């Protein structure tokens, strides 16, 4: 994705989204190697990065006028 094709207001959100995608990609090798040795700390870091990515994606979708779905990681409440 090339953020420069968007207007200034959307460009900032597009750059943030690209940064978060790159962060997830760059963390993958570390996640694979340290996940077995320290699963809880790795899970915390992955969760933190995914939440930041979800936020950036939501902001970008809103900026370009696409519908935004509820966070799928939330679990349904038991009745």
The reply to whether 9 falls in a domain is yes
pLDDT band of residue 24 (cuts 50, 70, 90) is very high
> Do the beta carbons of residue 45 and residue 29 sit within 8 Å?
no
The reply to whether 72 falls in a domain is no
The reply to whether 79 falls in a domain is no
* In the predicted structure, residue 38 carries a pLDDT above the cut 90: no
pLDDT band of residue 72 (cuts 50, 70, 90) is low
Counted domains in the chain: 1
**CA–CA dist 53, 12 (Å, integer):** 14
The reply to whether 21 falls in a domain is yes
Taken in order 28, 34, 39, 44, the sign of the CA dihedral is negative
User: What integer is the mean pLDDT of 40-46?
Assistant: 90
The reply to whether 41 falls in a domain is yes
* Cα atoms in the 13 Å half-sphere on the side-chain side of 39: 1
């Amino acid at each position: 994705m090339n953020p420069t094709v968007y207007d200034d207001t959307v460009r900032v959100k597009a750059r943030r989204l690209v940064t978060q995608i790159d962060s997830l990609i760059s963390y993958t090798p570390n996640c694979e190697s340290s996940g077995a040795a320290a699963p809880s700390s790795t899970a915390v870091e992955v969760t933190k990065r995914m939440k930041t990515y979800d936020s950036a994606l939501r902001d970008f979708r809103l900026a370009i006028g696409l519908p935004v779905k509820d966070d799928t990681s939330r679990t349904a409440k038991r009745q």
